[in-house]
Amino acid sequence: MNSRFLPLLATVAIFILAYAVCYAQFPAMLSTRVIGNLFTDNAFLGIIAVGMTFVIISGGIDLSVGSVIAFSGVFISVMLRDTGLHPIPVFAVLLLITTLFGAAMGATIHFLEMPAFIVTLAGMFLARGMAYVLSIDSVPITHDFYSAIQSFYWLMPGKGRLTFIGGLMLVVFIAGMLVAHRTRFGTNVYALGGGTHTAQLMGVPVARTTIAIYALSGFLAGLSGIVFSIYTSAGYSLATVGVELDAIAAVVIGGTLLTGGSGFIAGTLIGVLIMGLIQIYIIFDGTLSSWWTKIVVGMLLFAFIVLQKGLVWFTGRNRASAAGTS
């Protein structure tokens, strides 16, 4: 058994178990309606979580994504309000901005040799600040294109609705999986997480890869901002505060090692679904309060971190018994 699949298996097991518990109490939860809502409600989180998975696998972290979503929403709504442009060119400009923004952070991390944590912290402040500069108030979006997208869905068997944004999230996950496992860039991301120095010795273009990783995260944060604006029909600079933490939690619960080098995009999808499931359970239950979400997520985080620590320790010990040199 390949030990790197173990956290992923644990994630899947927890998800199935959690769903079984939910089903036992509320049989209504096993319906495509609930599943459709699960996808729609967590679409924006899922999309940034894909970017966050790449960042974390490479051994970094991106604290800016929540702010970038807020910035994107405000940017789109202000542009639509003030310029009369069609949303599509606005989306294109926005994605260009957020991608360049991510690339700039990646370049700073690589060339100034500073921790990703502090660089993306600056990015978080900057993006949120720029959102405020554009507008402090919530700006509603009323464009026919938006209404069209919002009313578009695919009716699943059992009357569940897979909305456009829910579907988009699935597309992003599939694309993420292909990039992670079927491209050289994907392998390079894992290589960086295994050790920057070794990766460099093995010929990985470290600078290019680092910049591309954060650019990708920036692009997906922009895309998530678009999705969030479709979801809420508004742009608000105070929106999605702390969503980066949810994304990091989803990635870790999805079985990705927070110290980098190991993880799966598919696991992150399940991580996002587990977090969504907890919320749905609390809503179905009615007596439980929303803060249990945070506590349960915290406990899952702890469990996964300790599990992975144990795995690392175990494989390390196995190998140390073979080694044991000076």
Partner 1 sequence: MSGTARFLRRIAPQLITLAFVLALISVMFPGFFNISIANGRLYGSPIDILNRGAPVALLAIGMTLVIATRGIDLSVGAVMAICGAVSAWGITQGYDLGSTLLMAVVAGLVCGLWNGILVSFLGIQPIVATLILMVAGRGIAQLITEGAILTFNDPNLIFFGSGSLFTLPMPVVIWIVTGLLITWIVRRTALGMLIESVGINLRASTLAGINSRVLLIAVYVTSGFCAALAGIIAAADIRGADANNAGLWLELDAILAVVIGGTSLLGGRFSLIASLIGAMIIQAVNTGILLSGFPPEFNLVIKAAIILIILVVQSPALRTGMAFFRKPRQTDVAKKETVTQ
Partner 2 sequence: MSEVANSRPLLRATGVTKIFPGTVALDHVDFTLQPAEVHALLGENGAGKSTLIKCLTGAYRRDDGDILLNGEPVDPRGTLDAQSYGIGTVYQEVNLLPNLSVAENLFLGHQPTRFGMISGREMTRRARETLSQYGLDIDPARSLGDFSVAVQQVIAIARAVNLSGKVLILDEPTASLDSGEVKMLFDIIRSLRDRGIGIIFISHFLDQVFEISDRVTVLRNGRLIGTEDAANIDRVQLVNMMLGRELEHETRETGKTDLAPGAPWLEFDDFGKKGRIAPFDLKIRPGEVVGMAGLLGSGRTETAETLFGAVTHDSGTARSRGEEIELRSPRDAVAAGFGFCPEDRKIDGIIADLSVRENIILALQARIGWARPVPRRRQAEMAEDFIRRLDIRTSDAEKPVGLLSGGNQQKVLLARWLATNPKFLILDEPTRGIDVGAHAEIIHLIEELCAEGMSLLVISSELDELVAYSHRVIVVRDRHHVAELVGADITTDNMVDAIASAHNGSAT
Binding site for partner 2 (CB under 8 A): 2-4, 178, 181-184, 186-188, 190-191, 193-195, 198-199, 201-204, 261-262, 315, 319-326
Least Å distance, CB 310 to partner 1, is 9
Of 178, 172, 208, 174, give the one whose Cα is nearest residue 191.
208
Residue reference for tokens 């899947």: 12
CB of 223 to partner 2, least distance (A): 22
Which does residue 158 touch among partner 2, partner 1, none (CB within 5 to 8 A, set by kind)?
none
Q: Do 103 and 255 contact (CB within 8 A), yes or no?
A: no
Query: What Rg value do the Cα atoms of the chain yield, rounded?
Result: 20
Run of H or E including 4? none
Residue 132 interacting with partner 1 (CB under 8 A): yes
The one of partner 1, partner 2, none whose footprint includes residue 198, by CB under 5 to 8 A per kind, is: partner 2
- 73 versus 193: smaller Cβ distance to partner 2: 193
- SS3 for 130-187 is HHHHHCCCCEECCCHHHHHHHCCEEECCCCCEEEHHHHHHHHHHHHHHHHHHHCHHHH
314 near partner 1, rule: CB under 8 A = no
Nearest CA among 39, 41, 54 for reference residue 219? 54
Measured at the alpha carbon of residue 310, what is the angle toward residues 7 and 120, in degrees to the nearest 5? 70
Q: State yes or no: residue 295 binds partner 1 (CB under 8 A).
A: yes
- Asked if residue 238 lies in contact with residue 65, where contact means CB atoms within 8 angstroms, the answer is no
Residue 203 interface partner, choices partner 1, partner 2, none, CB cut-off 5-8 Å depending on type: partner 2
Q: Which is nearer to partner 2, 54 or 228 (CB)?
A: 54
By CB under 8 A, is residue 58 in contact with partner 1?
no
What phi-psi label fits residue 30: left (phi over 0), alpha (psi between -120 and 50 degrees) or beta?
A: beta
In terms of Cα–Cα distance, which of 220, 295, 297, 212 is closest to 251?
297
Count the residues of the shown chain that bind partner 1, applying the rule CB under 8 A.
Answer: 45
Among 181, 208, 309, 319, binds partner 1 (CB under 8 A): 309
Residue type, 155: L
Which residue of 5, 146, 284, 292 would you call a contact of partner 1, by CB under 8 A? 292
- Which of partner 2, partner 1, none does 315 bind, CB closer than 5 to 8 A by kind? partner 2
CB of 74 to partner 1, least distance (A): 11
* H runs (alpha helix) in the chain: 6-25, 32-41, 43-57, 65-83, 87-111, 116-134, 144-150, 164-182, 184-194, 196-201, 206-232, 243-253, 265-285, 291-322
Binding residue for partner 1, selected from 123, 222, 254, 267, defined by CB under 8 A: 123
Q: What would the x/- binding string for partner 1 be over residues 212 to 251, using CB under 8 A?
A: -------------------------x---x---x--xx--
Does the footprint of partner 1 cover residue 107 (CB under 8 A)?
Answer: no
Q: What are phi and psi of 235, to 5 degrees?
A: -125, 125
Where does this chain touch partner 1 (CB under 8 A) — which range of 83-91, 156-164, 263-271, 289-297? 289-297
Site residues, partner 1 (CB under 8 A): 61, 108, 111-115, 117-119, 121-126, 128-130, 132-133, 136, 237, 241, 245, 248-249, 258-259, 289-299, 301-302, 305-306, 309
